[in-house]
Amino acid sequence: MTSKSSGLSGTHTLFQVSTSGALVAGLFSGVVSCRALLQHGDFGLGTFANLDGELVVVDDHVYQVRGDGTVSEAPADAEAPFAVVTRFDPDVDSHVTDLESFAILEEYCDKARLSSNIFYAFRLDGIFETVRTRAVSPSLNHGRLIDAAKAQVEFSFNNIAGSLIGFWSPGFSSAFSIPGYHFHFISNDRRHGGHLLACSAKALRLRSEPLTDFHLALPENEAFLKADLSKNSADELAYAEKAH
C-alpha cells in the first residue's frame, strides 16, 4: 500500500447528526433533511426516518436502500434520525488484493490508519466477488433498534461492481458513535446496496482520510430532550450491526 502523505494536515471534519445511543433507544424520527446533510458533506452513511432503509452518501448524492432491496436517490426533503458525513479528501490512495473476508478488509484499513485516537473515512472501489448486506425496514412497534434488527432483511450479490463507503471511529466514541468500522455498500449502477455484513474481492482501490475535527449536531425535538440516554447501549448496537 502507498499513500500520498504520511502526516496529518489541514482540517478534515466529520459531521454527525444525533447519537448512536439515541438510535438504539428508538428515537427514529427524522431530524435533518438530505438537503441539509449535503451542505456538510458529499460522502457518508446513516439511516432514514422511521428506519426506512439504509442511507448512503456518495459523490454528492444521497441514496436510499430500502428493506425490499430497492435503491433510489433520496428526495432532498427526506429526513434522517442519524447520519455521518464528510467532504471526502483522501490522503491515502492505494490498491489491495486478495480481500477474502470482512476481517481482511479491516486489516487493510488498519494499515492505512496512523492512529487509533482519531476518526477515518474509507472508500473502496472495484469488482466484488461477493457482497452480503442488510437493510432495515420501517419500525411498526416503535421499539428499540435491537427489535428492528431482528427483522432486518439480508441480500447477497456476486461479481458486482461498486463502492464501500465507511468510517472508523475510536473506542472512546462509543458513548455517541459506532466504534470500529462501519460500511455501507452501493453498486455502480445504483441498483443494489445496504449495510455491509461481508465481502470478498480480488483487487480493490482503497482511499482513506483522517478526520481530526468532529462536529456533533444534537436534535432539539421533545423526544430527544426527554429521553433517558444514560444507559450503556454498546451491546445492543453491536447486535444491530451484525448479521442474524
Q: Please, which residues bridge with residue 128 across strands? A: 160
Instruction: Report if residue 89 sits inside a domain.
Output: yes
Residue 240 has pLDDT above 70, yes or no: no
- Number of domains comprising the chain: 1
Write the CATH number for 236: 3.30.1330.80
**C-alpha cell belonging to residue 236:** 445492543
Mean pLDDT across 42-46: 98
Q: Which amino acid is at 32?
A: V
Specify if 8 maps to a domain: no
Tell me what pLDDT residue 142 has: 57
Residue 58 lies in a domain: yes
Region 9-28: mean pLDDT is 87
Range with the lowest mean pLDDT among 90-94, 116-120, 224-228? 224-228
Strands (DSSP E) found in the chain: 13-17, 32-33, 43-47, 54-58, 61-65, 71-73, 79-80, 82-86, 92-99, 119-135, 153-169, 180-187, 193-211, 213-217
pLDDT of residue 59: 96
Does residue 172 lie in a domain region?
yes
Higher pLDDT: 65 or 244? It is: 65
Kindly report the CA angle at 197 between 196 and 201, in degrees rounded to 5?
75
Round to whole Å and give the CA distance between 49 and 219.
Answer: 13
- Looking at residues 140-157, what average pLDDT do you find? 75
Q: What is the pLDDT of residue 236?
A: 63
Residue 3 lies in a domain: no
Q: Is 2 exposed, middle or buried (CB count within 10 Å of its CB: 0-12, 13-18, 19+)?
A: exposed
Note whether residue 7 is domain-resident: no
* Position 244 pLDDT exceeds 70: no
* Amino acid identity for residue 53 in this structure: G
Amino acid letter, residue 173: S
Residues 218/16, Cβ–Cβ less than 8 Å:
no
Task: Pick 30 or 6 by higher pLDDT.
Answer: 30
Q: Tell me, what's the pLDDT at 152?
A: 80
Cβ atoms within 10 A of the Cβ of 93, count?
A: 15
Domain limits at 170?
Answer: 13-241
- Measure the CA–CA gap between 95 and 99, rounded to whole angstroms: 11
